[in-house]
Every structure is written in structure tokens, then in C-alpha cells.
Amino acid sequence: MTPASVSRLATFHRRSLSRLSEVLLTCLTAVPCLFLPVCADDPPPAAETNAVEKPAPPSLAECLAKLRDEGTNRSQINEIFTYLTDVVGPRLTASPGARRANEWTRDKLASWGLTNAHLEPWGPFGRGWSVKRFSAQVIDPQCIPLIAWPKAWSHGSEWPIVGDLVYLDARSEADLEAYKGKLKGCVVLVSAPRDIAFRFEPSPVRLTDAELLRMANAEPAARRAPRRPPPGDFRRPSPTNAPAARPQAGNRGDVRPPSTNAPAPPRRRPSFGFSSMDKLRFAVHEGAAATVSISTSDEFGALMVGSATPVYPQGAEPERPSFGGGSPWATNAPAGPPQIVLAAEHYNRLVSMIRNGEKPKVALEVQTQFHDQDLMCYNTIAEIPGTDRHREIVMLGAHIDSAPGGTGATDNAAGVAVCMEAVRLIRSLELPPRRTIRIGIWTGEEQGLHGSRAYVTRHFGYYTNRNDDGVLRSPRDGGRQRSDSRAADNRKLVRQREYNRFSAYFNLDNGAGRIRGIYLQGNEALRPVFRQWLGPLRELGAETVTVSNTHGTDHLSFDAIGLPGFQFIQDPVEYFRSYHTTMDVRPRAPVKDLEQAAVVMATFVYQTAMMDEKLPRKPKPPTP
């Protein structure tokens, strides 16, 4: 290469380096933050200057205080309770009212942000039933409007009934001979009149300090000496000496006293000797146009309305009849004349008129409807999802089905409203619980805890028993749980997928009174836990923990297979006067008591969901 060429190449490189340096300097000047180090004394970038530190999550105590504030000052329980009672009305199992209540509760829970809100079927149960039109009055020798109502699942009449009123005054089968051939087309009174008890104790009532102390000091059943009640003493519990018990639900005719300090008396077995049921069957077989029974309530014309008795043709009765036969909701239950319940005051007067020589004539209009398009029943289920322990479950619930006469306010729209308000309060925290919280709103409780039992069987477990041939039978296969010792020895607990993930179930079904504490249901290990939880609730009136059991409602479905299931102690208020009657309506329930109950329920459920461990279970599952 010549010297001239070398000189020209050097000049070209110098110019290229100069231009490259200018470009780099321009870049460094335009975006210095990308290349220049930040000194310790320099101010932070704008983004960091405006950053806000994320606040620490509220403590458990702060969450419980917020629950209480929301439930006390912004409660929605009155709106929930009013809609279920005044708008939806009666909710007999499988009826259109029960289905409407299922759908409304599902949609309401979903509107609050609960997930997986759905209706879960169980059954088949049988036919639904509703009253389309009803009236009853004496039209001769004078006009007497009657306080009456058809029994649940009673058949109606296509045409109004006008007929003579006959009192079937028989004390034995031999006495019935005098009435043969004389009852066709008549309206027949089949019950004996009875004295109406006067009430001298105050009503409504609340639990006294002495009663709560007696419950708190109760000994476990295993250490108590058995006490046998007086023969024939199966009266409905008195609020003064049996405040927290719940009378038996359903159509089995027995009443369960409380188990506060003594074991419950043996259940009264149906008597298949001569009774009002024999007179009812006789009247139907003789062609009566309608039968009338006396109400068992003494509350100034309030009707205690039960279920109709299926009357089968002679010689075609079921092998194991129960108060006249199978269930009236069964699709193969026989048709028959209307069955009416009459207020005791009016019933006694009509019997007195007949005994004094009068011949009353009555007019009835009874139009009822059976609903057999869908023989399944439904529970309403919804959830608040958990976080780190989301696979574990805490449940709360109550039954929404009711007796047919009133609107089921104290039994048990009150419990449903409290449970719904409790999950709304927990949802208002906007802080997910550790465990999934699941609400169950059951049907079929009044006929034997059917809805909750079916749910527990499907999700958690059930007992099987061996027949004499050694074959295991399950409730889902139509097998019946036997209570004799041989069946208990052969029983086997089948655990479903969620059994080991279950923590506890909390139930409310003792009326509309405020919560005063909780039954341990024999699980003594939980006494210190529940005492601690009740401490901050003492000023709300809830502080009693008793080892005693209580019975008659849906927590037993969980307790029966060894899962922690609990019912709260409640003030009776007017529960024993109103339950299952035509006066079980919204004004019989104190809304302020329901607000308090919702706060207590939410407190127990939320703390159960936030614990490090599940609640302890009993050492051994109880015998079913």
C-alpha cells in the first residue's frame, strides 16, 4: 500500500470515530437514567416516591369487631325474615312454597358473592301439596265461623260439602256398631273433647340465670344416674322448666322434652289399640264426607296442624302401619275424604251442642292440590371459598320447610334468616377465610331430617348394617338403620370423600330467641374453645356452655356419624306456644334477638374457619 493510500484510510477512520462519539453522547444525554448510577443522596424515581405500602391484614379480633358492627348497625335480617314468612309463606316439604324458598335463598346468596350456589336434589320424597281454597262454618241452627284448616296432604272435595255434624262417641270397637250405616255423607268428629289448660306462667319467657347455671353445671350423661319420668308423662315441655328443648318434628305424634339435666324419657310408641285413629278409619270406611280432629294447641284458637292419615281399604293396609298406614305424601297413598283440624275451643262447643240435643249442620269448602311432577326435594347450598385450607369445610345451616298452618316463622324461617345473615356478615369482611364456609338450607326436616341426612350420606358418610344374610345395606339402597344391639355390632361406617376434611357444623332451630350459649353435644374437649369464643359475647347475653345434648333437628345428621355438629342454646320466648301452629307467623319473632343470633353464629363459624386445626371430634362415633 502506498503512503498516499495509508493517509487517506487514516483520515476516514478518524472521521468515523468522531461521528460515533457524537451519536453516543446524544444518547447518554437523552436517557441518562439508563446508564448513569444513582447515588445514595439522589432522590428516588417518581414512581417510587408515590408508592404506598400495602397495609397488613386485619387481626382476628378486628375482623370479629367488624362482624359485630355490621350485624348490629347494618343488619339485613329483617328483610330476609320478612320475605321468607310474609311473601313466600308456608313451605311444606315438596310444596311449591318450599321450591320457591329454595330458589330465592339460592339467588340471594349468589347476589352476595357466595360461590357454587345451587339446589342439590335428594329423594325421591313424594308428592307436594297445597291448599287452593278453604272455609268452614256451622250454618244451622246458627252461624258459627269455625277456626279450622286441612291436615297436610289431605284430599279435598270437588264440590262444597254440606252435611250433618256427628260426634263419634265410642270408647271401644263394640261402641262403633251403633254408628254403622249412619255416617254416609256426614261430617264426623273423631276426637274426644278435652279440657283446655290455663296458663299462669308469664309469656314470653327468657332463660333465667339459675337455669343457665344448671345447664352449665350439667354432668355428662355417662356420669348421671338415670331418671325415669312418671308413667304417661309426655306433655309438651314447659318454658319454665325445659327452656331449650325442641318438641318433636314430623308426623310421629311424640314430643321430646329437653336433655338439660336428665336423660330424655323413652319415646312414646304408637298405640295400635282403640283410638281416634280407629274412629277415623271407621268413619272413612262408612262413607263420611269429611272427618274433623281436635287441635292439640291450647293457645286461644291457634291450630296445631299435622299430616293426614292415609286410610287404606279394609284388608289392604300396609304390613307395618304407622298411625293408619304409610306416608300421606307417597304417590300410592289412597284417596279419601278431607281431614280437618278444628280449634279446641270450637271443637268442645260442637260436642257440647250435640250432647245437649242440637243437630248442627256444617258447610265446608276444601280444595287442595297434589304436586307430583317432580318427586325430588332440594337443599340450598352455597360457599365462601377458603384460602390456604380451602379443601377443609365449616358448615352452618337450618331447615326451611315448615308446618302447613302458619308461615313457619319460629320453625324455622328464623334459623334460616340467621344463617343467611351470618354468611353475609362474613362476606362483608372482604377477607376470605382459611377454610371454605358452606351453608346448607335443608328441607324434609319436619318429616325426619331427610334433607340433611341425605346430604351427609352423599358428602360425608353413612352407616351400613348387615342383614341376617350378611349383606350390607345402606340408607341409599333403601336399607333402614337398625337400633338393636345386633345391628350396632355389625355396623360399618362408610366415609365419603369429604369426611376427613370436615371441621364442624352449627345449626339453629330452637325458635327465634337470642342465643345464650351452646350445647357441646357430649364433646367435652371443646369446652375451653367455646368458652374463649363466648368471652367477648358475654355482653350480648351468650356465655353458657353445657355438655348436655339436645336433639330433634339437623345437627344430629352430622353427630350420628361422629362429625362435630352443634345446636345453640336459645331463649324460648314464645316458641313452645307458636311452633307448628297457625300462629307461627312473623310478629311472634323478636327481630333484635335474630340480629344478636346472627352475630354469635357468624363469630363461631368464622373462628372455626380461621383455626390452625380442625375442631376435635368425639373419641368414638356414637351408636346410630
Instruction: Pick the range with the lowest mean pLDDT from 143-157, 187-201, 418-432.
Output: 187-201
User: Could you say which of 320, 343, 371 is where a domain stops?
Assistant: 371
Say whether the peptide bond before residue 204 is cis (omega within 30 degrees of 0).
yes
Please tell me whether residues 395 and 515 are part of one structural domain: yes
Task: Tell me whether residue 546 is in a domain.
Answer: yes
Task: Tell me whether residue 249 is in a domain.
Answer: no
Task: Tell me whether residue 250 is in a domain.
Answer: no
Please tell me whether residues 305 and 438 are part of one structural domain: no
Task: Give the residue among 386, 383, 382 at the shortest CA–CA distance from 432.
Answer: 386
Structural domains in the chain (count): 2
pLDDT of the residue at 468: 42
DSSP secondary structure letters along 540-564? GT--EEE-----SSTHHHHHTTT--
DSSP code of residue 34: G
pLDDT of the residue at 256: 34
Average pLDDT, integer, range 164-171: 95
Which residues neighbour 590 within 8 Å (Cβ) at sequence distance 6 or greater? Answer: 512, 513, 514, 573
308 pLDDT band, cuts 50/70/90, is very high
User: Could you say which of 338, 371, 404 is where a domain stops?
Assistant: 371
Task: Tell me whether residue 205 is in a domain.
Answer: no
Model confidence, pTM: 0.81
Please tell me whether residues 159 and 283 are part of one structural domain: yes
pLDDT of the residue at 623: 53
Residue 85 lies in domain: 75-125+376-460+496-610
Please tell me whether residues 322 and 278 are part of one structural domain: yes
Task: Tell me whether residue 88 is in a domain.
Answer: yes
Which residue did the predictor score with more confidence, 5 or 430? 430
**19-56, pLDDT tens digit by residue?**
655 655 555 444 444 333 444 444 555 445 455 666 77
pLDDT of the residue at 227: 36
Which residue did the predictor score with more confidence, 508 or 326? 508
pLDDT of the residue at 326: 79
Is residue 517 scored above 50 in pLDDT? yes
pLDDT of the residue at 219: 79
pLDDT of the residue at 231: 32
Please tell me whether residues 116 and 154 are part of one structural domain: no
15 pLDDT band, cuts 50/70/90, is low
Please tell me whether residues 564 and 433 are part of one structural domain: yes
Please tell me whether residues 427 and 517 are part of one structural domain: yes
Please tell me whether residues 357 and 415 are part of one structural domain: no
Say whether the peptide bond before residue 266 is cis (omega within 30 degrees of 0).
no
Task: Tell me whether residue 586 is in a domain.
Answer: yes
Task: Tell me whether residue 501 is in a domain.
Answer: yes
pLDDT of the residue at 218: 85
The answer to whether 377 touches 443, Cβ cutoff 8 Å, is yes
DSSP secondary structure letters along 297-351? --STT--B--B----PPTT---SS-SSSSS-TTSTTPPP-S-EEEE-HHHHHHHH
User: Could you say which of 343, 371, 399 is where a domain stops?
Assistant: 371
Task: Tell me whether residue 298 is in a domain.
Answer: yes
- The CATH number assigned to the domain holding 290 equals 3.50.30.30
- The CATH number assigned to the domain holding 79 equals 3.40.630.10
Please tell me whether residues 392 and 427 are part of one structural domain: yes
Do the strands 361-371 and 377-384 form a parallel or antiparallel pair, or are they unpaired?
A: unpaired
325 pLDDT band, cuts 50/70/90, is very low
**198-223, pLDDT tens digit by residue?**
878 777 889 898 999 999 988 776 54
Please tell me whether residues 280 and 354 are part of one structural domain: yes
Is residue 474 scored above 70 in pLDDT? no
Please tell me whether residues 393 and 455 are part of one structural domain: yes
Residue holding cell 282403640? 274
Please tell me whether residues 415 and 540 are part of one structural domain: yes
Is residue 521 scored above 90 in pLDDT? yes
Q: What is the mean pLDDT of the chain?
A: 83
Which residue did the predictor score with more confidence, 34 or 69? 69
